[in-house]
Chains A and B, each alone.
Chain A
C-alpha cells in the first residue's frame, strides 16, 4: 500500500537533489590542511569563492551557479595513501565537480591517477615535479584533465633559479672580487629536486661557478651540522638549496648559528612562510628563496591580492594560494564554454591566456605554465632582519637589493 508513495517520494527526492546540485559548482580543495600549505590552499580558494559568489556566481547556460568548496585533508605530507583516499572520497562521496590543490609531488602523482580515472579536471597548486606534465604529453587522452597552475614545473623553476643565481654571482664577483664563486649544492633527496640538481651540476660551471659538492640530506633531517661543516670546509661562497621540508629551517638556523660566510639561495619552501623567522629563532638572516607573492607589480592583480589576503588572514600568501587563480581560471573557462563538462573545458583552458595574481598563465603541451619574463617566472626574496624582501626580477617595480653577508 505504501510502496507507491515511497517510490514517488524517492523519485521526488532524486529530482530535488539534482535540481539542488545544479545551483552549485562543487570544488574540492585538496591539501595537507594541518600545515601551512593546506591552510594557504584553502585560504586562496575561500577568497575566490567569496568574491565570485558575491558577484552572483558563475554564469552557465543563463543560470548563475554558486561555488561550493569542499575541504579535503589529504595528509599527504605524512602519507601518500591517505592522499589517494582523500581524492577518491572527494570525487565519489563529496561528488566534487573539480579538484584543485595538492602539494607533495609523490602524493600529487598518485592523486593525479585517481582524478584521471574519473575524468575530473585537477588544477595543481603545489607540486613541481615535471612528470605530472610529462604524463599529459605521453598519454594525452588520459591525462588531459590535469593542469598545473602553481608553481612552475621543476625545469621552469630551474630556469628562474639559474637566472637569479647569475644575478647573485654577478654581485659576488663585483662586491667580493671573486671571479669564480664556489657553489655547494644542498638538495633534499626527493624526486622534485632530481632535475634541478642535474641542471645545476651541468649549468653552474658554464656560468663560471665552481661546484664544490652535492649534499643530499633527508627532507625531515633535524640536524645538518655535518653537512654544513663539510660545506664550510669546501670554502663555498654560495649554498644553492632545493629544500621543501623542515630541513629548510634546520639549514637556515644552523647556518646562522655557525655564522657561515656563504650566502644561500635556491628553493626553501619553509623560508617562503611568514613563520620562518620565528621558526629559525631569528637565525635565518640572509636566506633567499624563490617565492610567488610579494607586494610588487608582477601582474596587475598581485598587489591587491597580496594586501587583501594579508588583511583577511593576517599572513602573506604562499604559492599554494594559487587556488585563487585556479578557481578564477575555472570560472572564465566555464563561462566561455557554457558548461561544466570536463571534456569541453579542457580545450578552452588550453587556449586561455589568464592574467592571474601570481603570473600570466599560458599552458604548453604538457599543461604546464609557459616560463618567461613577463609571463611566469616567480620572484626571489631574501630574509633581511626579520622581513622578507623581494629582489628579483630587478626590473619589476618594488624590488630591492640582494644583501651579501655583512651587507644585509
Chain B
C-alpha cells in the first residue's frame, strides 16, 4: 500500500502543481485571482479533443495549437475583461467568474454535455516499485517537471523573468523604474494560462472531458495555493504534492470515504486559513520575491 500511495500521490500532485503554479504566478505578479484559470484548462482540453479526435491532426500538432490558441485567447480576455478593472480586486474576481461561466456555457452549446474521451499519447503501462502506472500518467509527471524547470529558468535566467520578479516584488517601484507593468502583467497572464493549457492537454487523455471539468480542479487549486502560500511558486509545488498525497492516503486508508478526498483538501484549506493565513510558505514567499 505504501508504494501505491507514493506513486499515486506523486503523479496526481504533479498535475495539480501544473495548474497551481500558473494560478499562483499571476496572483504574485499582478494580484489577479483568476477564477477562470481552470476554465482555460478546460478550453485547452476541448481544443485538443476537437483537433485530435475530430480534426485528425497529430498529438503534437493538436497539443501545440491548443496551447497556443488558448494562450492567445487569454490575452484577448485580459485586454477586454481584466485590464479595465484591474485596480479593483473584487471586480477582477467577479469578471473572471463570469469569463469561466461564459466558457462553460459556450462549450456546452458547441459540444453538448456528454462526456468525451481522448486517446492516450502513449499506450501501455509502466511498472514502478511494482505498481502499474499507465505511461500517459508518467508523461504528465515528466511534462510537469519540464514545465517547472522551464518556469524556474524563465524567472531566474531571462530579462522577462527579472521584470516579472521585480513587478512581483514591488509594483510601484517597478513602474517608477520605467517598466511597463501592464505588459509584464500581460506576459504573466500568458505564461500562467499556457501552463493551465499544458495541464489541460496533458491530463485530458486520462480524465473525462466535459464542460464542467474546470470546477473540481479549481477547488483543488485553491486548496493548494492557500496551503502553499498564495503567490509562492515553491509553495504551490509543495502544496500540490501535499494535497496529492493526502487524497491518495484518504482513498487507501479509508476506501469507503473515497468521495471525501475533495472535502479533505478543502478542510486543509480552511485549517490553514485559520491557523496560518499566509500559508506554509508565506515567509519564504516574501523572501522568494
Contacts and interface: CB of A to CB of B under 8 A. Distances in A.
Contacts of B248: 226
Interface stretch (A139-147, A229-237, A290-298, A342-350): A229-237
Interface string B4-16: 1100100110000
A386 interface: no
15 contacts: A34-B108, A34-B112, A35-B113, A215-B255, A217-B251, A218-B261, A221-B259, A222-B213, A225-B133, A230-B252, A250-B208, A275-B116, A278-B117, A279-B117, A281-B118
Contact of A225 (B11, B117, B256, B257): B11
Contacts of A224: 258
A78 interface: yes
Interface of B: 1, 4-5, 8, 11-12, 53, 108, 112-120, 125, 131-134, 136-137, 205-208, 210, 212-213, 216, 247-248, 251-252, 255-259, 261-262
- List of 10 A-B pairs having minimum Cβ-Cβ separation, nearest first: A226-B251, A189-B259, A34-B113, A279-B117, A35-B113, A257-B134, A222-B207, A218-B259, A281-B119, A229-B4
Given A229-B131, A258-B134, A216 B117 contact: no
Given A35-B114, A250-B208, A259-B125, A216 B119 contact: no
Nearest to B134: A257
A233 to B, nearest CB: 7
A246 B256 contact: no
B258 A257 contact: no
Contacts of A225: 8, 11-12, 133, 137
B117 A280 contact: yes
Contacts of B258: 189, 215-218, 221, 224, 226-227
A371 B261 CA distance: 37
Contacts of A227: 251, 255, 258
Given A229-B8, A233-B1, A258-B125, A223 B118 contact: no
B256 A216 contact: yes
Contact of B132 (A230, A246, A258): A258
Given A213-B255, A226-B252, A282 B119 contact: yes
A262 interface: no
A188 B259 contact: yes
B117 A214 contact: no
A275 B1 CA distance: 35
Nearest to A214: B256
Interface in A256-291: 257-259, 270, 273, 275, 278-282
Contacts of B119: 281-282
Contacts of A246: 115, 208, 210
A222 B216 contact: yes
Contact of A223 (B125, B206, B259): B206
A299 interface: no
Contacts of A167: none
Contact of B251 (A34, A220, A230, A250): A230
A399 interface: no
A34 B108 CA distance: 7
A295 B136 CA distance: 37
B198 to A, nearest CB: 17
A36 B134 contact: no
A216 B256 CA distance: 5
A253 interface: yes
Nearest to A215: B255
Given A226-B4, A257-B134, A249 B115 contact: yes
A344 B281 CA distance: 70
A281 B117 contact: yes
B207 to A, nearest CB: 4
